[in-house]
Structures are given as C-alpha cells and as structure tokens.
Chains A and B, each alone.
Chain A
C-alpha cells in the first residue's frame, strides 16, 4: 500500500518548456488535489478533482492544466513553464470532496530557469 505517489521527485525546466507531473493513489479515494508550496506561504490549491471525470480550479490555477485519467491518477501539466512556477508541488487525495483529512504524496521539486 504505497498511498500517494508522485513522479518525478525533482525537475529542472527552462522557461517555455512543458512538462507533466504524475500522481497516483491506491486508497480508492474519490477526490484528488494539486497544491504548490512556496517559502513563507501556506499550501495553495491549484486544481482539484471531486471524482473521476470532474476537475475544478482552485486558488492559483493560471498556467496549469489537469487531467483526471481514472480514479487512481491525476496529472498536472505546465504548458509553458515560467520562473514563477518554481515551487514544490504536492498531490493529495481524500475519501471525498471537502473531507480534508488528506493524504499527501512526497512532492515534486520544480525549478524553472
């Protein structure tokens, strides 16, 4: 039982490059979330998926897209990376939406130069 897994762990991009962050959970949770964590700021919600087939914007969605591929997997895509997107990205899941006993992955540390 791995919980929530994320790939890659580290990534360096040049401005304008694109990439997809992968997330998978094996807890049969319905809801999944993408956050970013920056120094001096709390975790901020980028996008979330209440259930398979649905996605919604969070607090800071600009510059990102998401796909809920199936119940297990939720990916985050940066179409044209910018230095302001340098951050640590966390995926999380919960049994259902608005149940914030969330389970987090280990994070992806992204640097955009």
Chain B
C-alpha cells in the first residue's frame, strides 16, 4: 500500500541549531514529492517540488533533497519564524488506471526556541 511517513512527529530546536526532517515513501510510480509549510489555523503553503532522485531545491534557510525512498528537509540556522508544521506529499501514477494520486504525510511540528 502506498504510504508517506514523516519523522520526527515533533522537533524542538534552539535558534541557530540546524537539523533535518525526514519524509519516507513507498509508492509504485513517483511523479513528484512536495513540501508544504502549515502555520497553526492556516492552510498549507507550497514550498518545493522534487521530481527525481538527486534533485535539490533551496529557499532561504530550507533545502529539500530527494533519494529513491525518502526526502529530507534541511533547516540551516533556524529562526523562531520557521516554527510551523512541515508537510510532505507524494504524487504517484498508477500504470493500470492512469490515475494520479497524492498522499500527504501527517507532518513534523517544528518549534524553534529563541
């Protein structure tokens, strides 16, 4: 069964303390992997799309990488304003039906302490 698992569930960092969030996936035919940021009481905000193993994308203090089985969201020298829940989503393609499906993980709740 297709699955997206994010770890850890929650992460507390001191301001400036770099770390990584993990998104592992098992899908039959990966079409794309997406990272979103969600602030409390708000809708998810798109961050990155990764399409193939080895691809990397950067935005300010965030860098997303992709391998064949997982993606990492690296946060360098985080600031309190980086506190949010980070969601990973995986798009797969079913060869038999031609359907595109999107599966979301449950997220990692990041807290950056000043």
Contacts and interface: CB of A to CB of B under 8 A. Distances in A.
B43 A101 contact: no
Main secondary structure of the interface of B (DSSP, over half): strand
Interface in B1-39: 4, 31-32, 34
B91 to A, nearest CB: 5
B49 interface: yes
Contact of B100 (A40, A92, A98, A104): A98
B90 to A, nearest CB: 9
B91 A42 contact: no
17 contacts: A42-B87, A42-B104, A43-B87, A43-B89, A43-B104, A45-B102, A90-B44, A100-B34, A100-B49, A100-B89, A101-B34, A102-B44, A104-B43, A104-B45, A106-B41, A106-B42, A107-B43
Q: Which 4 A-B pairs have the closest CB atoms?
A: A104-B43, A42-B104, A98-B100, A43-B104
Interface in A81-109: 90, 92, 97-98, 100-107
